[in-house]
A = this chain, B = another copy of it.
Amino acid sequence: MDDTPGYRPLYRQVRDILVKRIATGVWQAGQILPSEGDIAADLGVSQGTVRKALDEMTAENLVTRRQGRGTFVARHDDARILFQFFKLLPDTGERRFPESRVLSVHLGPESEAARILDLAETESVIRIERVRSLDEQPCIFEHIYLPESLFRGLDQRDLPNNLYQLYSVGYGVTIARATERLKAVAAQKREAKALGGAPGDPFLRIDRTAYALDSRPVEWRISLCRTESVHYLSDLR
């Protein structure tokens, strides 16, 4: 897609400028952007060019546009998380947001996490363990790793269900996209017990790396799921 860094179309340069303004907090989550015309005048380009830049950003889920109202910086509200980042659904019934119960929060170096998060091996990492439930039924055992440098003090907080909103509102870190790698594995004793299964049961293991607006990896997450009555949904198009 971008094999010629020597030349970037104007609308893409505009996009980069707008993304940077969001990334650096000039425009914050939920806030309204200036109108297309104002941005165009500000940057000295045509309204159509701004429009194309915003169209791209809409496709990337970075902004939402509403006719007659304006363009808004996308928020990590529950609805968005649910559709964009939470792919585990009950076999029957509605898509729901899972309840979370935190088991532990630790702090210290962790070499594997450091490698994935692109940190020095000795850098401190926040490690969270929690169990998530759908319909009062525990079904996900989750290990989360964060660079402490980006989320200082997060380990002292009461952790909400929707972590990505906390990253955004509390630390100015916006998760823009993620990559998940799935495997089927045999349940360990501890996870099995927490989810009401038996050791050796087949569990779905989701290995997620999440990236911020500037494309840096900022969260590593391992989710072990008991998929008796839930499934992972993937749309191919």
Contacts and interface: CB of A to CB of B under 8 A. Distances in A.
Interface of A: 59-61, 84-85, 87, 176-186, 200-205, 207-208, 225, 227, 231-237
Contacts of A184: 184-185, 202-205, 225, 227
Given A179-B235, A180-B236, A183-B204, 20 more contacts: A59-B59, A84-B237, A87-B236, A177-B236, A178-B236, A179-B234, A180-B234, A182-B204, A182-B227, A182-B232, A182-B234, A183-B227, A183-B231, A183-B232, A184-B202, A185-B227, A186-B202, A202-B202, A232-B234, A234-B234
Given A182-B231, A234-B180, A200 B200 contact: yes
Contacts of A84: 236-237
13 contacts: A178-B235, A178-B237, A179-B233, A179-B234, A180-B233, A182-B204, A182-B231, A182-B233, A184-B204, A184-B227, A185-B202, A207-B231, A232-B234
